[in-house]
Amino acid sequence: MSGVKLLGINGSPASRRVEWALKIKGVEYEFIEEDLQNKSQLLLESNPVYKKIPVLLHNGKPIAESLVIIEYIDEVFEGPCILPKDPYDRAIARFWAKFLDEKLPAVWKALWSQGEEQEEDKKEAYEVLKVLDNELKDKKFFGGDGIGFVDIAANFVGFWIGIVEEATGVVLVTSEKFPNFCAWRNKYLNCDQVKENMPSREMLLGYFKSRVQAVANGPK
């Protein structure tokens, strides 16, 4: 055994990022599904600062934060490179992965807020999507011709966002507004790597629909 455990959640984008990296490297690992309402002692001890998933345990030593974990996996295990080899390209990939981590909460918020607040949130989300659309001009993937670090980091906008849109009825992404982004997403969703590394669409759609229902019912 490789001595690798991953504390995660099946439907979490951050958790799936790490699983994807492990699969690219062909690393065997034990996946431990966490219950966020009742976090395990192992999670609390392994990530005392944030108490959040995902956490990778390698020979008992914990690492938190999905992007940090992916860089570690890329450095430690044999197999195809996840980050670019060239230092300049690697810096640019780190820049975009950081951008996604920082800006995704704004996109998420615009999918769930309501009324006037949502109009403001949508403006911010459109700004984020516009930047991504612009970066994808003349590019097949963020990583160039193949999927790389940034495409893995972008799994929320690639896969989850469409499902949340369907559940909430709030549509942010259209091919009129963001043609390059949509072209990327089509290629992304049809790529074997993505199909093999995403949770069930039906399961997520059911989950988000129940969340929409809970919001509509309001606090009890």
Q: Which residue in 98, 123, 137, 195 binds a copy of itself (CB under 8 A)?
A: 98
Does 31 sit near a copy of itself (CB under 8 A)? no
The least distance separating a copy of itself from the CB of residue 216, rounded to whole angstroms, comes to: 31
Does 195 sit near a copy of itself (CB under 8 A)? no
The length of the chain is: 220
* C-beta of 94 vs 211, nearer to a copy of itself: 94
- By rule CB under 8 A, what count of residues binds a copy of itself? 22
Footprint of a copy of itself on residues 99-118 (CB under 8 A)? 99
* C-beta of 181 vs 208, nearer to a copy of itself: 181
Q: Which residue in 28, 49, 202, 219 binds a copy of itself (CB under 8 A)?
A: 49
Q: Which residue in 94, 109, 187, 209 binds a copy of itself (CB under 8 A)?
A: 94
Q: Which residue in 21, 69, 107, 170 binds a copy of itself (CB under 8 A)?
A: 69
Q: Which residues bind a copy of itself (CB under 8 A)?
A: 49, 58, 61, 63-65, 68-69, 71-72, 75-76, 87-88, 90-92, 94-95, 98-99, 131
